[in-house]
């Protein structure tokens, strides 16, 4: 009896024949894995080796364009009078290429700490954050955060909106000489059903919201936004909408006495295809039902429909980055257990959510050898000596991968959101595992352009920990030599934008400056 090949496994479990569109961001053509229909991951692995992080910013533009397209369809179907505003939650990925691409694609800006506002201030001064974009400042605000908001407003940014998490924040900002637009965050929405412990610490009680509205009404400032964050992911749509309805009713009651109120922020949690093969979600249908819920609730209370704001972090950036890791060795598992594929890297550094988020999954695919027999394996990091540096977790089913063993290169998807922000960029990581080399791919006038960042060198890492240079000399280029080389910027010979294959998704736009900030 012939053993099942990896291609057979993919066909039997996911209905994938081995060629064509695999997910909404990934395809396989001529045996090569293509990201966004244009970037050949297999070729990058051959030319650059592994470990390697691949950053493909046009995917961010595609994600934003798709959501705005679905929202336009939902507004028509729901006959919704308010606008739909797409905000990028920058905490998902602060990298300049991610933030600037989101802004170029028309996104508004959501912050959660002082550093976010400082970055926004710099982008505003450079003209990269247009004057018509709203900046929503969420989270608890220390003195530095409040000062950063003041500075941005004094610089001429009239659209910075501090969303009050505590009444002390209001008192600290009321004397600001330039008029501010305020938002309030509803505390009850964070854990109304008891399923989101920890989220209930954010926001104001109903009584505190009334007090804030009264204080703002008697000042030079305006209350313009009501924020209700239900949870981190929309897993049960009916439950989400039922929970949100009470928040919309609270918005409507406040709107009747606060005519300046005009934005309703339903928060984040839009699911993404980045973490599971076979993923399916009716985005336009969900947005339609969301808008109908808000439309009907506002009509029942006799108030106009608000402009809707969604905060999209994970959805925006999860699928734009891929990590390529090579299997360096195979180690036999315990009797009755799958063998270990030991990779030249660290999951604790590249996939920290595998530890922090219970049940977090990642799509992991081999770049080659789909015709070889499939076998169950678990991945272990070779660059740490830690029992936690494994994937999948011990209580999860093993991966099915080709039996190639050493030399097989694996592509790990869904790493564009939070992974690098949790692990950090630069600095010293667990077991001093160096960050992989990075290829950053952007689009300029319809062409893909790449920039190569070498792998983090060990001498720099150990110097950060206080060791003397003469103790850190390893068989690798000296840090000064690496630093002296300018980043390589070169056009990539890839498929032009017009030749992408699509299955029911809006065509990927070029990255360009977007004037219209709402749909």
Distance CA 146, CA 36 (A): 40
- pLDDT of res. 187: 87
Angle at 21 between CA 15 and CA 23, to 5 degrees: 80
Distance CA 130, CA 515 (A): 8
Alpha carbon 428 to its chain centroid, in Å, reads 23
* Ranges of the chain whose pLDDT falls below 70: 1-2, 190-200, 231-235, 347-360, 383-388, 418-433, 469-519
**Architecture field, domain 82-312:** Alpha-Beta Barrel (3.20)
Contacts of 316 (CB under 8 A, 6+ apart): 60, 63, 64, 88, 89, 92, 98, 102, 107, 417
User: What letter would DSSP give residue 425?
Assistant: S
Q: Give the position of tokens 């009907």.
A: 296
CATH of domain 6-58+318-499: 2.40.37.10
Beta bridge partners of 380: 342, 390
Phi and psi torsions of 399, nearest 5°? -80, 150
Where does residue 377 fall: left (phi above 0), alpha (psi -120 to 50 degrees), or beta otherwise?
beta
Token pair recorded at residue 88: 């990028």
Contacts of 59 (CB under 8 A, 6+ apart): 25, 35, 36, 319, 320, 416
Q: Give the position of tokens 């009680």.
A: 205
- In the chain, domain spans: 6-58+318-499, 82-312
Distance CA 354, CA 432 (A): 19
- pLDDT of res. 104: 96
- pLDDT of res. 273: 86
- pLDDT of res. 466: 82
Reference 353, options 414, 278, 291; nearest CA is 414
- pLDDT of res. 190: 59
Distance CA 181, CA 204 (A): 17
Contacts of 386 (CB under 8 A, 6+ apart): 348, 430, 431
| Rg from Cα positions in the chain | 24
Token pair recorded at residue 128: 């990269």
Q: pLDDT tens digit string along 141-173? A: 999 999 999 999 999 999 999 999 999 999 999
Reference 377, options 392, 404, 354, 398; nearest CA is 398
Print burial letters for 155-174: b (CB count within 10 Å at least 16), e (below 16).
Answer: eebebbbbbbbbeebbebbe
Beta bridge partners of 89: 110
Helix residue ranges per DSSP H, 235-307: 237-257, 283-301
pTM reported for the whole predicted model: 0.85
**SS3 state at 434:** coil
- pLDDT of res. 257: 96
Token pair recorded at residue 183: 């938002």
Distances (CA, A) of 247 to 113, 115, 127, 255, 297: 25, 30, 36, 12, 10
Distance CA 266, CA 100 (A): 24
CB 62 within 8 A of CB 51: no
């Amino acid at each position: 009896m012939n053993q099942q090949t990896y291609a057979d496994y993919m066909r039997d479990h996911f209905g994938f024949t081995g060629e064509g569109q695999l997910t909404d961001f990934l395809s396989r053509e001529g045996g090569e894995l293509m990201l966004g229909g244009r970037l050949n991951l297999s070729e990058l692995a051959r030319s650059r080796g592994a470990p390697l992080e691949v950053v493909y910013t046009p995917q961010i533009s595609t994600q934003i364009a798709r959501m705005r397209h679905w929202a336009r369809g939902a507004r028509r179907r729901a006959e919704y009078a308010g606008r739909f505003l797409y905000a990028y939650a920058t905490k998902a990925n602060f990298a300049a290429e991610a933030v600037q691409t989101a802004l170029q694609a028309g996104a508004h800006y959501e912050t959660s700490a002082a550093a976010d506002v400082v970055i926004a201030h710099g982008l505003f001064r450079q003209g990269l954050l247009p004057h018509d974009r709203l900046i929503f400042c969420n989270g608890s605000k220390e003195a530095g955060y409040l000062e950063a908001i003041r500075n941005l407003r004094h610089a001429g940014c009239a659209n910075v909106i501090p969303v009050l998490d505590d009444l002390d924040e209001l008192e600290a900002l009321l004397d600001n000489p330039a008029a501010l637009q305020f938002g309030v965050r509803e505390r009850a929405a964070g854990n109304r059903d008891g399923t989101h412990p920890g989220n209930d610490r954010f926001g104001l009680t109903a009584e505190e919201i009334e007090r804030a509205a009264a204080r703002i009404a008697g000042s030079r400032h305006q209350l313009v936004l009501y924020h209700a964050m239900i949870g981190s992911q929309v897993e049960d749509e009916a439950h989400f909408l039922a929970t949100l309805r009470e928040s919309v009713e609270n918005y409507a009651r406040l709107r009747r006495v606060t005519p300046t109120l005009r934005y309703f922020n339903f928060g984040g949690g839009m699911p993404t295809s980045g973490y599971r093969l076979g993923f399916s979600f009716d985005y336009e249908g969900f947005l339609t039902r969301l808008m109908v819920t808000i439309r009907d609730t506002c009509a029942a209370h006799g108030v106009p429909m608000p402009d809707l704001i969604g905060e999209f972090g994970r959805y925006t950036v999860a699928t734009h980055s891929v990590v390529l890791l090579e299997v360096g060795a195979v180690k036999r598992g315990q009797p009755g257990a799958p063998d270990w594929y030991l990779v030249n890297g660290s999951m604790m550094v590249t996939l920290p959510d595998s530890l922090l988020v219970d049940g977090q999954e990642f799509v992991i695919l081999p770049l080659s050898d789909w015709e070889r027999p499939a076998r169950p394996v678990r991945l272990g990091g070779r660059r740490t000596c830690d029992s936690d540096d494994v994937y999948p977790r011990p209580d999860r089913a093993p991966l099915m991968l080709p039996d190639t063993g050493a030399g097989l290169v694996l592509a790990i998807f869904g790493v564009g959101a939070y992974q690098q922000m949790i692990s950090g960029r630069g600095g010293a990581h667990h077991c001093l595992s160096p960050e992989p080399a990075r290829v950053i791919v952007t689009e300029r006038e319809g062409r893909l352009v790449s920039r190569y960042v070498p792998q983090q060198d060990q001498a720099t890492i150990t110097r950060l920990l206080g060791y003397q240079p003469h103790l850190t000399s390893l068989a690798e280029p000296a840090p000064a030599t690496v630093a002296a080389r300018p980043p390589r910027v070169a056009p990539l010979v890839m498929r032009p934008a017009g030749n992408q294959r699509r299955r029911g998704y809006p065509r990927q736009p070029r990255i360009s400056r977007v004037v219209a900030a709402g749909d």
